[in-house]
Structure 1
Amino acid sequence: MTSPKPKVLLSWSSGKDCAWALHVLRRRSDLEVVGLLTTFNETVDRVAMHAVRRELVEAQAAAVSLPLFPIMLPHPCSNEVYEQRMRAAVAEAKANGVTHMAFGDLFLADVREYREQRLGGTGIEPLFPIWTTAEETSDLARTMLAAGFEAVLTCVDPKHLDVRFLGRRYDASLLAELPAGVDPCGERGEFHTFCFRSPEFKTEIPVTTGEAVERDGFWFLDLRPE
């Protein structure tokens, strides 16, 4: 009798890196991705940090045929409340047979260590399927584009990247224009994206751009479903 495959819950921000992580995970025969876990600002019903509308994330989940497991967070949200709600979500996932939680992190060691510490002792193991180095993210970005991934920049940190990049397609032209010191994948928080096309999506998710607003030192672009 064969053992059941490990069940993986994927942390899903709506951006290109988590979409790439799903693509990589689904090419592994030794595990099964069973859902997407997303944190939402409960006040505005948008993805925490990315500020993407929940209905667009639901469209992504439908496009990849996976259930979406939302974690609702207050705004502002203390680290204590965040960790409390994450612990509850992890416990529920464990009770439902989840064995691993995967993240689309690339190379920030402190972020990886934090996730490993938080999952320690929960019975759920962390996975980092697209972990790489800071020197290799340029190649990774080109690999994603060559594979057919398409995304739009929804958030920009103006301390590192000019606001004119907000709303730009994540493509070869954008990569060529990024200032020196900005990670090609935005891993240090220089920018965040919404992925609207992926080989894993049954259909492309059409979006239209709305208002750009500055909040808490970041610029956000409102995306709406077409």
Structure 2
Amino acid sequence: MTEIVDWKNGARGHKFIASFSGGKDSTLALYKAMKVGEAVGLIMMLEEEGKRSRSHGMPPELIQAQAESIGLPVYTAAASWDDYETIYMGLLEKAKDQGAEVLVTGDLDMPAHGCWHDKVTKNAGLKLGMPLWEMDHREAVDEFINLGFVTIVVTVNLSLGMQEDDLGRTLTHEYVKELEARGIDPCGEGGEFHTTVIDGPIFKHPIPVRSCEILRNGDYVFLPLELDK
């Protein structure tokens, strides 16, 4: 139990780098960590071609816009699943050179994710901070909304109860209740959906976005977003 407590409070009093997907969980974790520690930057992994983020399918210019609005540098790298860990480790080393002592992630309670991050941070000589660890899922999403963050659903898994009509919807208390009534985890922790955050208390200004043509890949349906310049 001691290690889990350390994970939850790992950023306190330290400089940290945040693993950032641009979605609600990593954003809430960043917000909480910034309250108790000092952020030196963000890490985001891209797909092999470097055109979209690995986790949420965001273009690099949208990622950069989020980082600039938050006021932090973002370290990105393209990787396949085969070399993902090696390249991720390289970003951690770069962050460590910038003074990072801790890696902050938005994991809530997925042991495999927590253990993987624990392994790579130890290998990089960093500590691990997971401010949302073991937090109740409804409590986490309610806090996120109450803080004034604005996030849009950009990916849905049709085999897990989501619908194409969910794409583009803003996460509100009413929508969360609807998701729960449909048997869907309010945080999408089972892979039901992913979001992109466009405004909130750590953003200097909202991120202007426009929706692009919907894409489909098996059970997954994506709503690509681009900067609305």
For structure 2, the residue ranges without an aligned partner over 5 or more in a row are 1-12
Distance 2:41 2:15 in 1: 9
Instruction: Give the TM-score normalised by structure 1.
Output: 0.89
Within a 5 Å distance, the mapping from 1:79-90 to structure 2 comes to 80-90=82-92
1:149 corresponding residue in structure 2: 149
3-state SS of 2:124 partner: coil
Alpha-carbon shift at residue 93 of structure 1 (Å): 2.2
1:16 corresponding residue in structure 2: 24
Contact 2:19 2:104 (8 Å CA) reproduced: yes
Contact 2:45 2:53 (8 Å CA) reproduced: yes
Contact 1:19 1:198 (8 Å CA) reproduced: no
Provide the aligned C-alpha RMSD in A.
1.6
1:218 aligns with 2:226: no
Alpha-carbon shift at residue 43 of structure 1 (Å): 1.5
Contact 2:118 2:128 (8 Å CA) reproduced: yes
Amino acid at match of 1:154: V
Give per-residue Cα distances to partners, 1:101-120, cap 9 Å, x unaligned. Answer: 00011111221112112222
Picking from 15, 21, 36, the partner of 1:7 is: 15
Alpha-carbon shift at residue 82 of structure 1 (Å): 0.6
Alpha-carbon shift at residue 180 of structure 1 (Å): 4.2
Contact 2:132 2:140 (8 Å CA) reproduced: no
Contact 1:9 1:35 (8 Å CA) reproduced: yes
Give per-residue Cα distances to partners, 1:63-107, cap 9 Å, x unaligned. Answer: 01100111212xxx23x3111111222222223321110001111
Give per-residue Cα distances to partners, 1:169-194, cap 9 Å, x unaligned. Answer: 11123212215432101122110000
1:93 corresponding residue in structure 2: 95
Contact 1:100 1:124 (8 Å CA) reproduced: yes
Alpha-carbon shift at residue 206 of structure 1 (Å): 1.6
Contact 2:40 2:99 (8 Å CA) reproduced: no
Aligned length: 214
Contact 2:151 2:196 (8 Å CA) reproduced: yes
Query: Aligned in 2, Cα 1:84/1:148: closer, same or farther, shift over 3 Å?
Result: same
1:189 aligns with 2:195: no
* Deviates further, 177-186 or 123-132: 177-186
1:26 corresponding residue in structure 2: 34
Between the aligned residues of both structures, percent identity stands at 29
Per residue, is there more helix in 1 or in 2?
2
* Deviates further, 36-45 or 187-196: 36-45
